[in-house]
Structure 1
Amino acid sequence: MPRRRALAFALLLTLPAWAHAAVRLLAIGQLDAHRRDLSTATAAPLENGVPGNLLGGLGSAIDHAGCGKFVALPDRGPNAVAFDPAIDNTSSYLDRIQTLDLALQPAPAGARLPFELHVSLQATTLLSSREPLVYGSGRGLGVGDGASATNRPGQRYFFTGRSDGYDPARPSSWPDDGRLDPESLRVSRDGRSVFVGEEYGPRIMRFDRRSGVREQVYALPAALAVAHPQPSGHAEDRANRSGRVGNHGIEGLALTPDGKVLYAALQGPLLQDGGKHGGYTRILRIELAGGAVQQFAYPLSRLDSGARKPHFTGISDILAIDGDSLLVDERDNSGLGNGTAARFKRVFRVDLAHARPLGDRHGQAALAAVALRKRPFLDVVAALGRGGVDAADIPAKLEGLSFGPDVRWHGRLLHTLYVSSDNDFRPDLRDRLHPGGIDNPNRFYVFGFTAADLPGFVQAVHPACAANPASR
């Protein structure tokens, strides 16, 4: 074991049971969800009547791109409006990434938090393919053809969130399916590409950051896909005995500081690993140069006790601490958006340097035998509470993690961790805890930590803005 890693591991073993006490909330920022994004060509109403460029859902994933710029990712679009359960209420929303400026500045004297976070939208980029994609015809589903009118035949074909955009003769991982439910994102170290992980396949693809055109698809183990794709997640679970659970594909991506290895996390267990009531999901390690893939078992946190069908958390995102260690964001479904006070939103640390890969193991018992050991890093609900945020106002879907630029506070150098929320494209909410209604913007939380809080942390080097226009 290298000297640096041995020292970091020794320090890690000395940490208390919850090693997050020194990690504190620095700032909260938001972006109005009533607004439209910068893709005016997609402004027309979708099948459910929602504007096609509503500025929402963009906290599904977030990553620092250098120079104060971040890239954020909406998921498959506004399907919180019920209109057609046969397609999971999805629409022909065109998948996209949003480039944001997140300016972290010292707060005025007397402010509740030490910093202010000012958020502005810089660019909207639609995701597309140069090769033709498979779209749903809509027959028997109560909707029309799923091909986008924005397509330019022979040049560009746009990915959409509509769940029936697949080839029924192919497994769900087929690269040219037009449906895309993006849930995870990382910016390449040169700043020119973005890696996107999605749930329908699951698939991992690389897109040009400036144009949004797909550049590469990464081969994943066949056991992750379902053989019989269907237009709803529930129907897929009934039609398959192996592969990912419906809407539980790639939920988190992490890129190592040197940019050579991509990690990917499934939101929950595969059907053959216990499905919705399984306690172990999978983390993949992908060597970008050669494509070699290893799989590791990750233990989820149990949310009940003694139930006949146990209920576990899911993974929302992962983040690389160094080449072999990850932060893992786990959450339940409680919080703002679901009419309850937030309860379980926690970030754990796992180290894979000496972990045993899964190989061809399947089933809960087999995964349990080689499962990673995790240690707590941050209880987000508790940290937000200490910062004055009521649990009733903490979003249910805290889904994005990113490290950000270092700051100085009281003469100390602090590293920063950004956490973003997915508001499900619902700019306003009314529930039993907010009977009078509440504004529901896209929210961003910034936490500060020191090297002692996260031993072994390596800050990724981003290209200089002047030398790389893609990072502007």
Structure 2
Amino acid sequence: MRLFLTTAIASALLALAAPSRAAEPVLIGMGNLSGSLSDLSGLNYSLESGLAANLLGGMGSGLAWAGGNTFLALPDRGPNANDWGAPQLDNTTSFIARFQTVQLSLTANAAGSALPYTLTPTLQATTLLSSSTTLNYGPKAATLSGIVDSSTVLAGSKNYFSGRSDNFASGLSTNPANARLDPEGIRVSNDGKSVFISDEYGPYVYQFDRATGERIRTFSLPSSFAVGNVSSSGAAEISGNTAGRVANKGMEGLAISPDGKTLFGFVQSPLAQDGGDGGRYNRIVKIDVATGATSQFAFDNQINGKAYNSSELLALNDHELIVLERDGKGMGDGSKAAVKQLVKIDLTGAAEVSGIADLRTQPGTAIVGTRFLDIKAALNAAGISDALIPAKLEGIAFGEDVIVNGKTMHTLYLANDNDFLATAIPNGGSAPAAYGNQFYVFAFEGNLTNQAIAAVPEPSQYALLLAGLSLVGFVARRRSR
């Protein structure tokens, strides 16, 4: 009896002495934009697949806070979920790379509502991404007026980045002159005037002027991330290389430190030399914005003994990061979501692994994270079944603080890549359900140094061009009276 009491008292004291685990973020609002709308690019022609060049979709591939209720939503390389008869191109098209500016407005709900807030997304602008220098295209190139023979694109003209997989030259995949771009991560500079975008094709990390969409800088990634045998077919690239990023699993995530001085890039799956897709150790690249210098860290991506792909990075401060880990199951995949989690990692004291050729040989260098949010459980608690949780939850961003039950709390926004599909058939269903660009907002307490974004850019050149044309038309109408 005395032994039992002593053991019980000791266990209680240990429990009191152990640090309490912070409460997980709670869902406070959600909203969506239809997957069948047009964006504001003004592009009025059809892609090779027959779909509209201004189709709105995929907006959750990346999500960045830009101050206030303004966010930048990033679609990936464009609509290629439907077969249009180009397997050698992985059904990709000459979709011009772009980012969308959206307002994600929170409105407080009446007491007793299911959620404290209603989230209303509103599309504000579309900015097309381009280069002032000549880019390497395949047979076709995209312009403002349509898709043309690439030989007709004049040197020195505005060259648009494209999702079409054959827009590259021979050599390493990290050639910054390649036109193909599969954007997956986006962050805003502290002065608000530029954006950083990460890509899966190269992989690349580029800096673009936020107002014009023109590339202003390339950050050179380690050559070990490149593949030497480049192909327009992802399967051919995988089979033809034993080192470098796995096709369609390149620089998926991007974070920026609150002071704006450091970027953190993240490959979706381990490099081929680290085990490839399904492997356990992903590489995080730390980039000094001022100098471009890089360093690398390893992350153990296992959850309950199974390796998962990493979809996004978000910086709590200059050393703690949030990693989005998920399966590919759920709405849009015709299956049921099983694992969707945010994991917190700390780079303090972590081993620098640039000199390790194969992370499997030194697994002890990998950082192990702790759970920050079980997304699936939180959405289930809000009445969203596993079959209706989006398969591709990929974009995360912090936002402004809000009041929840009289308490000031931080916000975290989560978005999905809907593959440009307006509808999808959920698991167990026979009829398609709405599958738009979904946004979820969570609130949490804890230490957070939010990024101080100072400026709002001028309208894009394309928006100014449209405004100029409208003014010309107005003047012409006035003169004809």
Could you tell me the TM-score, scaled by structure 2's length? 0.87
RMSD: 2.0
Provide the C-alpha distance between the structure 2 equivalents of 1:148 and 1:316, rounded to a whole number of angstroms.
36
2:431 is equivalent to residue 436 of structure 1: yes
User: Cα gap change, 1:441/1:293 in structure 2, threshold over 3 Å: closer, same or farther?
Assistant: same
2:157 is equivalent to residue 155 of structure 1: yes
Provide the C-alpha distance between the structure 1 equivalents of 2:448 and 2:91, rounded to a whole number of angstroms.
41
Provide the C-alpha distance between the structure 2 equivalents of 1:338 and 1:146, rounded to a whole number of angstroms.
35
Q: Give the aligned partner of residue 394 of structure 1.
A: 389
Shift of 1:109: 3.3
User: Cα gap change, 1:171/1:419 in structure 2, threshold over 3 Å: closer, same or farther?
Assistant: same
Cα deviations by residue, 1:195-223 (Å, 9 ceiling, x for unpaired): 00000000000000010000000011000
Instruction: Work out which of the residue numbers 13, 19, 22 in structure 2 matches 1:14.
Output: 19
Provide the C-alpha distance between the structure 2 equivalents of 1:431 and 1:286, rounded to a whole number of angstroms.
40
Name the stretch that deviates more: 86-95 or 106-115.
106-115
2:374 is equivalent to residue 373 of structure 1: no
2:301 is equivalent to residue 296 of structure 1: no
Unaligned runs of 5+ in 2: 1-17, 141-146, 461-481
Give, as a single letter, the amino acid of the residue that structure 1 aligns with 2:400: P
Provide the C-alpha distance between the structure 2 equivalents of 1:227 and 1:297, rounded to a whole number of angstroms.
23
Instruction: Work out which of the residue numbers 439, 454, 459 in structure 2 matches 1:463.
Output: 454
Instruction: Work out which of the residue numbers 340, 356, 359 in structure 1 matches 2:354.
Output: 359
Instruction: Work out which of the residue numbers 415, 419, 425 in structure 2 matches 1:420.
Output: 415
Q: Give the aligned partner of residue 141 of structure 1.
A: none
> Are the equivalent residues in 1 in contact too, given 2:286–2:296 (CA < 8 A)?
yes
Q: Give the aligned partner of residue 172 of structure 1.
A: 173
Instruction: Work out which of the residue numbers 86, 105, 128 in structure 2 matches 1:126.
Output: 128
Provide the C-alpha distance between the structure 1 equivalents of 2:366 and 2:154, rounded to a whole number of angstroms.
47
Give, as a single letter, the amino acid of the residue that structure 1 aligns with 2:347: L
User: SS of 1:460's equivalent?
Assistant: coil
Provide the C-alpha distance between the structure 2 equivalents of 1:393 and 1:367, rounded to a whole number of angstroms.
40
User: SS of 1:206's equivalent?
Assistant: strand
Provide the C-alpha distance between the structure 1 equivalents of 2:419 and 2:133, rounded to a whole number of angstroms.
30
Q: Give the aligned partner of residue 272 of structure 2.
A: 271
User: Cα gap change, 1:152/1:115 in structure 2, threshold over 3 Å: closer, same or farther?
Assistant: farther
Q: Give the aligned partner of residue 250 of structure 1.
A: 251
User: SS of 2:224's equivalent?
Assistant: helix
> Are the equivalent residues in 1 in contact too, given 2:72–2:102 (CA < 8 A)?
yes
Provide the C-alpha distance between the structure 1 equivalents of 2:455 and 2:213, rounded to a whole number of angstroms.
22
Q: Give the aligned partner of residue 477 of structure 2.
A: none
Q: Give the aligned partner of residue 405 of structure 1.
A: 400
User: Cα gap change, 1:95/1:285 in structure 2, threshold over 3 Å: closer, same or farther?
Assistant: same
Shift of 1:373: 2.1
User: SS of 2:439's equivalent?
Assistant: strand
User: Cα gap change, 1:33/1:148 in structure 2, threshold over 3 Å: closer, same or farther?
Assistant: farther
Cα deviations by residue, 1:177-209 (Å, 9 ceiling, x for unpaired): 010000010011111100000000000000000
> Are the equivalent residues in 1 in contact too, given 2:414–2:440 (CA < 8 A)?
yes
Q: Give the aligned partner of residue 102 of structure 1.
A: 104
> Are the equivalent residues in 1 in contact too, given 2:331–2:425 (CA < 8 A)?
no
Give, as a single letter, the amino acid of the residue that structure 2 aligns with 1:286: I
Note the 1:315-330 alignment, pairs <5 A: 315-330=310-325
Provide the C-alpha distance between the structure 2 equivalents of 1:470 and 1:417, rounded to a whole number of angstroms.
27
User: SS of 1:37's equivalent?
Assistant: coil
> Are the equivalent residues in 1 in contact too, given 2:228–2:241 (CA < 8 A)?
yes
Provide the C-alpha distance between the structure 2 equivalents of 1:381 and 1:407, rounded to a whole number of angstroms.
23
Greater CA radius of gyration, 1 or 2? Answer: 2
Give, as a single letter, the amino acid of the residue that structure 2 aligns with 1:154: G
Shift of 1:388: 2.0
User: Cα gap change, 1:470/1:156 in structure 2, threshold over 3 Å: closer, same or farther?
Assistant: closer
Q: Give the aligned partner of residue 10 of structure 1.
A: none
Note the 1:106-117 alignment, pairs <5 A: 106-117=108-119
Name the stretch that deviates more: 193-202 or 365-374.
365-374
> Are the equivalent residues in 1 in contact too, given 2:24–2:373 (CA < 8 A)?
no
Note the 1:218-237 alignment, pairs <5 A: 218-237=219-238
Shift of 1:353: 1.7
Give, as a single letter, the amino acid of the residue that structure 1 aligns with 2:221: L
2:324 is equivalent to residue 333 of structure 1: no
Provide the C-alpha distance between the structure 2 equivalents of 1:458 and 1:148, rounded to a whole number of angstroms.
49
Could you tell me the TM-score, scaled by structure 1's length? 0.89
Note the 1:179-198 alignment, pairs <5 A: 179-198=180-199
User: SS of 2:313's equivalent?
Assistant: strand
Provide the C-alpha distance between the structure 2 equivalents of 1:148 and 1:366, rounded to a whole number of angstroms.
47
Count of residues paired in the alignment:
437
> Are the equivalent residues in 2 in contact too, given 1:73–1:98 (CA < 8 A)?
yes
Give, as a single letter, the amino acid of the residue that structure 2 aligns with 1:118: T
User: Cα gap change, 1:68/1:240 in structure 2, threshold over 3 Å: closer, same or farther?
Assistant: same
Provide the C-alpha distance between the structure 2 equivalents of 1:56 and 1:245, rounded to a whole number of angstroms.
24
Shift of 1:431: 4.5
> Are the equivalent residues in 2 in contact too, given 1:129–1:158 (CA < 8 A)?
yes
> Are the equivalent residues in 1 in contact too, given 2:409–2:445 (CA < 8 A)?
yes
> Are the equivalent residues in 2 in contact too, given 1:358–1:367 (CA < 8 A)?
no
> Are the equivalent residues in 2 in contact too, given 1:72–1:97 (CA < 8 A)?
yes
Cα deviations by residue, 1:410-430 (Å, 9 ceiling, x for unpaired): 210010000000000011112
User: Cα gap change, 1:469/1:411 in structure 2, threshold over 3 Å: closer, same or farther?
Assistant: farther
> Are the equivalent residues in 2 in contact too, given 1:92–1:148 (CA < 8 A)?
no
Q: Give the aligned partner of residue 40 of structure 2.
A: 38
Provide the C-alpha distance between the structure 2 equivalents of 1:431 and 1:191, rounded to a whole number of angstroms.
39
List, as ranges, runs of 4+ consecutive aligned residues in structure 1 with deviation greater than 3 Å. Answer: 144-149, 468-471
Note the 1:43-122 alignment, pairs <5 A: 43-83=44-84, 84-122=86-124
